[in-house]
Amino acid sequence: MTDAIARADAVYRKLVARAGEAWVEPRLERTARILEYLDNPQRTYRVVHITGTNGKTSTARVIESLIRAHGLRTGLFTSPHLVRFTERILIDGEPISDEAVADAWDEIEPFISLVDAELEAEDQNPLTYFELLTVLAFVACADAPVDVLVLEVGMGGAWDSTNTADGDVAVFTPIDLDHANRLGDTPEQISEVKAGIIKPGARVVSARQSPQVAAVLRRVASENDAEIAFAGAEFDLLEAKLAVGGQLVHVRGLAGSYGEEYLPLYGRHQGENAALAVAAVESLIGGGAQRIADDVRTEAFAQATSPGRLQLVGTEPTILVDGAHNPHGARALVAALGEYFDFDEWGVVLGAMADKDIAGIIRELAPVTTHLFATEADAERSASADEVADAAEASGLRPTAHPNIVDAIEAARAWAAEGEKRAIVVAGSILLGGEAIALARMEGWKR
């Protein structure tokens, strides 16, 4: 192990020793305080801020690719990670170096105990994992330095620690029910929280939304003198056609129409994410009036990746990993499996966090599920394999329960070997997907 890796691993141990990502307080002021001590690094670059229920990371990655293809230096902050925490912070399209992470932490660390002491004096909890990770990303991107940071919220929007940055462009992917215990019981309530990323005078672009959600976004945009554009009205995905390794997409942007372009991502929803990304970058680069050059768009789309989203990790048998962790995501997964893959039977390896709508996820997956292999991620928040299996049985499936991803995949691969056109998809949790990706690399599932 190199010294840089050891230093970065030490940073991660210090982060995970704090209150985790499942523990969220609606507070911005303490993240803002430590950023003030650091001279507000988040104000040294332009920001594209992204929230929504599903598609945030995929959309963020296409936006980043488009901005980078313009010759600008980019930062990208997403969550959660699949294998290693440095995946969350990308500089110019690559995971941040261990040395850069450690150096940024060295800048931050002297102020952590200071702010923690202030919090204790006010009878508040110390800075959390995600608050400090956000600060780490801001500092690292300022040190790089980047021209534009593409910034994904952790949860919600208004009081998420990422909202200490002022987004030049606010981007909304589809908003549906998720984290209801934190954000609200209806899409309208949730959209009120997410709309908090709209800053005065910003430009706003949104995926198609329900009329109720769209009304909230329009109102908040108006209150902030922000111009808003919606998919299906001001821009749109006109067509998506199957192609080897992905699809050909035809997009109408804010500044003009773009002919067929190859996008190496599966699923119509990814085409819609790409259209949203185009509108976001048009808004950033030219205020919505400047068309993206054809060569820039071609380069950016060709380089677009979205790890853990319909990612092929194995052949013989085919094994896909998808981060679908709520009913809306599971519905998009099922549509993509039917449209882009030619298999007769699917084995679904499913594990989910205990606070998710597991029954709703299974209900959406059931129509394509021949056999469900219930399992659990190596995380305290994970529902047990038995709990997932019980929910599957309640939906009319006949699952088998497996204590970990290794056992579940072994059983699924054996099942796939017994049939002619069988494939496997791992879903229900980003954490579980990360474990599957790591296992695929270690065992060499791709041939």
Following DSSP, what letter does each residue of 131-197 receive, concatenated?
HHHHHHHHHHHHHTT-SEEEEE-SSSSTTSGGGGS--SEEEE----S-SHHHH-SSHHHHHHHHGGG
Q: With 0-12 CB in 10 A as exposed, 13-18 as middle and 19+ as buried, what is 193? A: buried
pLDDT per residue over 35-48, tens digit each?
Answer: 999 999 999 999 99
The answer to whether 256 and 289 have CB atoms below 8 angstroms apart is: no
**Cα–Cα dist 290/437, whole Å:** 39
Q: CA 296 to CA 108: how far, in whole Å?
A: 36
- Residue 109 CB neighbour total at 10 angstroms: 12
Q: Which domains does the chain possess?
A: 3-303 (3.40.1190.10), 311-443 (3.90.190.20)
Least confident piece of the model among 65-69, 76-80, 272-276, 278-282: 76-80
Q: Is 229 helix (H, G, I), strand (E, B) or coil?
A: strand
Average pLDDT, the chain: 93
Say if residue 179's pLDDT is above 70: no
Task: Tell me the sheet residues that pair with 90.
Answer: 76, 95
Q: Please say whether the beta carbons of 87 and 147 come within 8 A.
A: no
Percentage of the chain beyond pLDDT 90 is: 79
Pairwise pLDDT comparison (209 vs 446), residue with the higher score: 209
What per-residue confidence (pLDDT) applies to 409?
96
Which residue in 338, 319, 329, 321 sits closest to 364, CA to CA? 329
What pLDDT, on the 0 to 100 scale, is given for residue 19?
Answer: 74
Better-predicted residue by pLDDT, 287 or 21 = 287
Q: Tell me, what's the pLDDT at 406?
A: 96
- Euclidean distance between CA atoms 264 and 247, whole angstroms: 6
> Please, which pLDDT band fits residue 1 given cuts at 50, 70 and 90?
low
Residue 74's DSSP bridge partners are 148
* 3-class secondary structure, 105: helix
Q: The tokens of 214 are what?
A: 């769209």
Task: Give the three-state DSSP class for 363.
Answer: helix
Chain segment 332-374, per-residue pLDDT in tens: 999 999 988 999 999 999 999 998 899 999 999 999 999 999 9
Beta partners for residue 172, in sequence order: 51, 206
What is the per-residue pLDDT for 323?
Answer: 86
Q: Residues 19-35: pLDDT tens digits?
A: 765 555 677 888 999 99
At a CB cut-off of 8 Å and minimum separation 6, what does 39 contact? none
Provide the 3-class DSSP secondary structure of residue 374. Answer: strand
Residues facing 261 on adjacent strands: 249
What is the mean pLDDT of the segment spanning 110-133?
A: 93
CA–CA gap between residue 375 and residue 285 (Å, rounded):
45
Helices 358-365 + 327-340 axis angle, to 10: 20
pLDDT of residue 260: 93
